[in-house]
Amino acid sequence: MANNLSLSKKRVMPKKYYTLYILIGWIFFAWSIHHAVGQSSNKTQVMVMEIQSEIDARTSHYVDLALEEAENLEADYIVIDMDTYGGALYDADEIRTRMLEYEKPVYVFINKDAASAGALISIACDSIYMAPGASIGAATVVNGGTGEAAPDKYQSYMRGIMRSTAEANGRDPQIAEAMVDETLEIDSISEAGEVITFSTSEAIQYGYCEAQVSSIEELLARAGVEDYDLTVFQTSTVDKAVSFFLNPFISGLLILIMIGGLYFELQTPGVGFPILASFVALVLYLTPYYLNGLAANWEIAALILGVALIALEVLVIPGFGVAGIGGITLVIGSLMLIMLNNNNFDFFFVDFEEITQALVTILAGFFGAILLMFFGGVRLTNSAFFKRVALQGTQASTEGYTANFKVGSFLGKEGEAYTILRPSGKILIDEELLDAYTRGDYIDQGEKVIVVSDEGSSLRVKLAKDI
């Protein structure tokens, strides 16, 4: 009976074996994760950035973001998908420098054109690959507005950086220089009077292209890159929003809100909403241009100074004079300069159309704000929202309200200007400090004055010596 009972009992595993099996399970799990990560990390990381528009400050900012993302991805190779006719020399030079200084290999795939600034950036890359029918060269510096060749100081600078860039990557510097200077003649390659522009086959022949390929995948295969993960860099939602606010129409709308907000705040001090809207519009206007390298610090400082001068004219200085005119000039000028890719008032590389567009945008914003003031002001003050945030009641004298806090009449009494009157200030009569104003006259502190009217809450005075 005892034996049968012993056979029917369940066999219980000792606790020490539970612990051992759990430990073995964790070791196996950790090994699996490590193995999976190891396999993933063994793949070559390739990142593609696209330069397929005019080279400008926005392109330079895009390249900065792309290189930053490449570092985050720990990319082993960067491939530039190139198709551009060129652009601003200053921005192209900045991109060229980044390509030369980047530690990992940078390849460029010219799928159609790499002209002018595009040629400079391509030569700065470690390897150049071109699609059938593509071209590279024609790097003469031209005026952005007329298309005419720039003065020799610009050509000389471009020749120098093209030559040094070619030397840095083991390419013939004379050919790079001849892509800029039409007076240079290279035997069997170019004749005097024309700059060099290579087709794909010519670029391969003279060492300015490694091979002809039809795609980035073929490029990587020719370069010996295998077992890779390819990532195409895409700008974030924030960067897309920045590009949205660079639209001239949006810029004009923001200018309208800035000016309109200031106007309505001055009309109804203390409401707060108009000045907040004006401030938000200013931030949304400046931030995209600043992030894209268009808004220089001194241009922003000029804008702030202009606003300060206008505020000084409106709130402190009577009438409208030098401060007001200077403020408006600074505001319009700085807003325009912020929109243009000028280099400290050097507009040689700025298209005339861009200057016209910037001026039209700003003037449209100003005139739109004026129309809003005249036609929208009445509707705003009569709206339900405005009545909730602004004081609408009146305190009529027929109801017992008065603004005259003076006891007795001061008409004809003499006193002394306690502060400067320009035209309003404080006067002292019989040891009593009172508000006073003139009919536009300027009266220095300490001058003797006489009261010519004491209606209302402030006394109207004149110089005693003028009576």
Whether residue 182 is found in the same domain as residue 124: yes
Instruction: Report the C-alpha gap between 301 and 322 in whole angstroms.
Output: 19
Whether residue 191 is found in the same domain as residue 219: yes
Whether residue 218 is found in the same domain as residue 257: no
Indicate if the pLDDT at residue 279 is higher than 90.
Answer: no
> Residue 424: which of 409, 414, 439 has the closest Cα?
439
Whether residue 68 is found in the same domain as residue 109: yes
Whether residue 177 is found in the same domain as residue 252: no
Q: Is 220 exposed, middle or buried (0-12, 13-18, 19+ CB in 10 A)?
A: buried
Which tokens belong to 93? 């030079």
pLDDT band at 12 (very low <50, low <70, confident <90, very high): very low
Whether residue 260 is found in the same domain as residue 226: no
Residue 402 lies in a domain: no
Q: Name 339's Cβ contacts closer than 8 Å, sequence gap at least 6.
A: 248, 251, 289, 294, 354, 358, 361, 362
Q: What is the mean pLDDT of residues 126-147?
A: 84
Residue 11 lies in a domain: no
In tens, the pLDDT along 18-35 reads 565 566 666 666 655 555
CA atoms within 13 A on the CB side of 121: 36
Indicate if the pLDDT at residue 371 is higher than 50.
Answer: yes
Residue 395 lies in a domain: no
pLDDT band at 320 (very low <50, low <70, confident <90, very high): low
Whether residue 87 is found in the same domain as residue 217: yes
Instruction: Report the C-alpha gap between 212 and 149 in whole angstroms.
Output: 32
Whether residue 194 is found in the same domain as residue 122: yes
Indicate if the pLDDT at residue 9 is higher than 60.
Answer: no
Single-letter amino acid, residue 130: M
Residue 389 lies in a domain: no
Task: Work out how many domains the chain is built from and give that number.
Answer: 3
Residue 401 lies in a domain: no
SS3 214: coil
Which tokens belong to 81? 């998908």
**CA angle at residue 163 from 161 to 164, to 5 degrees?**
65
Instruction: Report the C-alpha gap between 200 and 130 in whole angstroms.
Output: 6
Q: Name 321's Cβ contacts closer than 8 Å, sequence gap at least 6.
A: 313
Could you tell me which residue, 211 or 333, shows the higher pLDDT? Answer: 211
The domain boundary residue, chosen from 219, 234, 249: 234
Whether residue 278 is found in the same domain as residue 413: no
Indicate if the pLDDT at residue 105 is higher than 90.
Answer: yes
Whether residue 181 is found in the same domain as residue 265: no
**CA angle at residue 416 from 414 to 419, to 5 degrees?**
145
Residue 460 lies in a domain: yes
Residue 128 lies in a domain: yes
Indicate if the pLDDT at residue 132 is higher than 90.
Answer: yes
Whether residue 285 is found in the same domain as residue 364: yes
CB contact at 8 A, 315 and 265: no
CA atoms within 13 A on the CB side of 190: 25
Instruction: Report the C-alpha gap between 92 and 116 in whole angstroms.
Output: 9
Indicate if the pLDDT at residue 183 is higher than 90.
Answer: no
What's the pLDDT at 363?
Answer: 83
Residue 35 lies in a domain: no
Domain extent for 451: 408-466
Could you tell me which residue, 29 or 261, shows the higher pLDDT? Answer: 261
Whether residue 287 is found in the same domain as residue 420: no
The domain boundary residue, chosen from 201, 216, 234: 234
CATH classification at residue 198? 3.90.226.10
What's the pLDDT at 111?
Answer: 93
Q: Name 421's Cβ contacts closer than 8 Å, sequence gap at least 6.
A: 427, 436, 437, 438, 441, 442, 443, 449, 461
What's the pLDDT at 169?
Answer: 93
Q: What is the mean pLDDT of residues 178-206?
A: 87
The domain boundary residue, chosen from 199, 234, 269: 234
pTM score = 0.60
